[in-house]
Copies of this chain bind each other. A is one copy, B any other.
Amino acid sequence: MAAAAPPPPPTPTPTPVSTVPLDSTPVGHPLFTRIRLAQPSDVPHIHKLIHQMAVFERLSHMCSATESSLSSTLFTSLPFQSFTIFVLEVCSQPFSDTPRYHDPIYPPNVQTLNLDLPIDDPEKEMFRSGDGDAVIAGFVLFFPNYSTFLGKPGFYVEDLFVRDCFRRKGLGRMLLSAVAKQAVKMEYGRVEWVVLDWNVNAIKFYEEMGAKILPEWRICRLTGEALQAYGNGL
């Protein structure tokens, strides 16, 4: 996949109206969120998320990633120097302090959302992550790219994915913002990703956030036997 897919929701969807009786006090349902650097122990969850993304895109026949292939190719450099993954955890309780996530390069980013209704996560056992009912809700994988015209690096967002039951709550935007914020912090020049041309809602969403869609460029890909043949032909 060479895409931030699926994109964040095209327009913010109101959270469902509470169905509590009119005479009772409306109850808010806080959703505590934490964005942190992925660690090697997250690979089984990341692997499942990648396969869900492939199914969502109806491209599961193209998805050959395994836990082993991910483990051997990720986490090979310092965060932000190469392939970097943020995972997004959510919990109905505040996150307890987790010393192993005290990364000086990227301390976990905690925010709280208030929802009218709690979220029913049918996969909570599969994506359980640490304390209480914390689960992994999504991830973003990105890495540095380079603009010769600017003479400086940027970030390319290869994939951004939020699990089905957590969509339309601004979590995708939160993950993308975390990458943009890191780019600004590092004085990088750009954040880039790709979108499918027929996904007009996503395009509208990206344009509203200030991104430019470059209409004329097409991706060229050399892979499989063609890559082998060309690479060996020198």
Contacts and interface: CB of A to CB of B under 8 A. Distances in A.
B192 A220 contact: yes
What is the predominant secondary structure among interface residues of chain A facing chain B? Answer: mixed
A147 interface: yes
A177 B234 contact: yes
Nearest to A62: B149
A109 B189 CA distance: 33
Contact of A219 (B64, B66, B148, B217): B217
Contact of A180 (B73, B194, B227): B227
Contacts of A144: 82-83, 143
Contact of A64 (B149, B203, B232): B149
Interface in A5-33: none
A53 interface: yes
A180 B221 contact: no
Interface residues of A, number: 84
A70 interface: yes
Contacts of A174: 234
A83 B153 contact: yes
Contacts of A183: 227, 231
A164 to B, nearest CB: 18
A191 B229 CA distance: 13
Interface of A: 1-4, 50, 53-54, 59, 62-66, 69-70, 73, 77, 81-83, 109, 141, 143-154, 156, 158-159, 174, 176-178, 180-185, 189-198, 203, 206, 209-223, 225-234
